[in-house]
Structure 1
Amino acid sequence: MVETLSIAVIGASGVGKTSIIRRFVYDDFSETYNPTRARRVYRPSVVLNGHMYELKILDVPPIAAFPSSPAQEWLDARCRGVRNASAYILVYDICCIESFEYVKMIRQQIVDNREGSSSSSDVPILVVGSKRDLQRQRFAQRRSVSVLVKKTWKCGYVECSAKFNWHVLLLFKELLGIAVARGLRHNHASIRLQGALHRNRCSVM
């Protein structure tokens, strides 16, 4: 049986969410900026270490806050499916501190609103620093941000560049590894999948 994992990609306007998703799914990149105004769904199949996964990737437009209840989620079409996502990718622009503050706010709201729910408060969250190709313009050193995210927030952390296709595949492999390690599968595939992260055996179908 093929497992489906729902991944919500959330971030402020202009941080590169759609560019990252399209680079991963279609291996393309556009220099033209088209703001995401409505929720979009991408459904790629991924083979990781011999196991197939169906991904439901939600490209979420900028939202004022994480929906605090199922009712609020369904009132706003942009948020539908966000509360029950299997995992989250929170994207910020390494050159924009405001976009990082937005990710900080959303992460805390995810933790607060899912705590004690049947979907578990221990949901996998990967923080992604986008636009690594603009390294010289970053607002903070990579190490300081990485330590905060990993040590204090207890989240995964990856930096990438959709423009140059740098670490885009890695961030999705990292997220799958975190998700499996936290028990989204129950057939003890986690050990094999964690090994696959080092062998680079991941492909998008």
Structure 2
Amino acid sequence: MTSSHLTIDSDQQRIKLAVLGAPGVGKSSIIRQFVNQEFNAEYIPTERKHVYLPSVIINDHLYELKIIDCPYIPYFPVNSLYEWTDFRGYGLRNATAYILVYDITSEESFQYIKNIRDQILESRDMHDVPLFVVGNKHDLSDERGISRREVASMVKKHWKCGYIECSAKCNWHVVLLFKELMKTIDHIDYGHKPTSVRVQDALRRNRCVIL
């Protein structure tokens, strides 16, 4: 979706998003819904790293995203040596931002991202590194395993992180998730002060989403 009257920043920013979560929470489904507008009801475990390269426009700025769909990791690497040994090529320690996904019907999956979040904070400088917590499977809210109010209060007030619930199956709040995350990144990068050029000069490849 583009417009001949739309103008964007001439410097295309490259952003690396690491998506982490316990097995079966819907990490891959959220990404594929955002990038390809598709959902596969069959559960296929993520056994290796997958990379998606969409582009988005937010506040007249063009960003090229490198979304890393990570397999289950038992821990976050405390240093570059551990990352090289166990998670070579994942790029976990230099991600621009993190999306931590849990299944709202599984308290255990929330405990997993809580542990991973603690390890991330202990392992690297998180200044200007956004972290969003995502409760997936809102379509199964009747089977909720942990209250939304409890999670939202903890994440927003104590962790000082972004929080959103979504449903990859129903494509509910998936775009909103990436919009809110990119607004945060854009504010860090620009403080919402765009400089502009013609959009067609910058859009050369990949699917581009205007958020």
Does structure 2 retain, via aligned residues, the 8 Å contact 1:44–1:204? no
Q: Residue 6 in 1 paired to residue 9 in 2?
A: no
The reply to whether residue 37 of structure 1 matches residue 43 of structure 2 is no
Q: Once the 2 structures are TM-superposed, how far is the Cα of residue 152 of structure 1 from its aligned partner?
A: 0.7
Which runs of structure 1 show a deviation greater than 4 angstroms over 4 or more consecutive aligned residues?
none
User: 1:70-123 CA deviation, whole Å, 9 max, x = no partner?
Assistant: 1111222466201100000000000000000000000111111013xxxx4442
Correspondence for 2:32: 22
Q: How many residues end up aligned between the 2 structures?
A: 189
TM-score computed with the length of structure 2 as normaliser: 0.84
Q: Which residue of 2 aligns with 1:195?
A: none
Superposed CA RMSD in Å reads 2.0
**Per-residue CA distance 1:168-191 (angstroms, 9 max, x = gap):** 00000111122233x2x1x44368
- C-alpha distance 173-125 of structure 1, shift in aligned 2 (>3 A): same
Partner of 1:167: 173
> What is the distance in 2 between the residues matched to 1:21 and 1:190?
29
| Change in CA separation of 1:143 and 1:79 when aligned onto 2, cut-off 3 Å | farther
How does 1:50-199 map onto structure 2 within 5 Å? 50-77=60-87, 80-115=90-125, 120-181=126-187, 183=188, 185=189, 187-189=190-192
Select the structure with the greater relative contact order (CA < 8 A; seq sep ≥ 6). 2
Structure 1's unaligned 5+ residue stretches are 193-201
Task: Give the partner amino acid of 1:51.
Answer: H
CA distance in 2, matches of 1:158, 1:180: 18
* SS of match in other structure, 2:45: coil
**What is the TM-score when the length of structure 1 is the normalising length?**
0.86
Matched to 1:23, the amino acid is Q
Give the C-alpha shift of residue 141 in structure 1.
1.9
Deviates more, 1:69-78 or 1:149-158: 69-78
CA deviation after TM superposition for structure 1 residue 9, in Å: 0.2
Quick check: 2:61–2:194 contact (8 Å CA) kept in 1? no
Whole-Å Cα distance in 1 between the matches of residues 191 and 157 of structure 2?
A: 27
Distance in 2 (alpha carbons) for counterparts of 1:66 and 1:104: 12
Percent identity, aligned pairs only, is 52
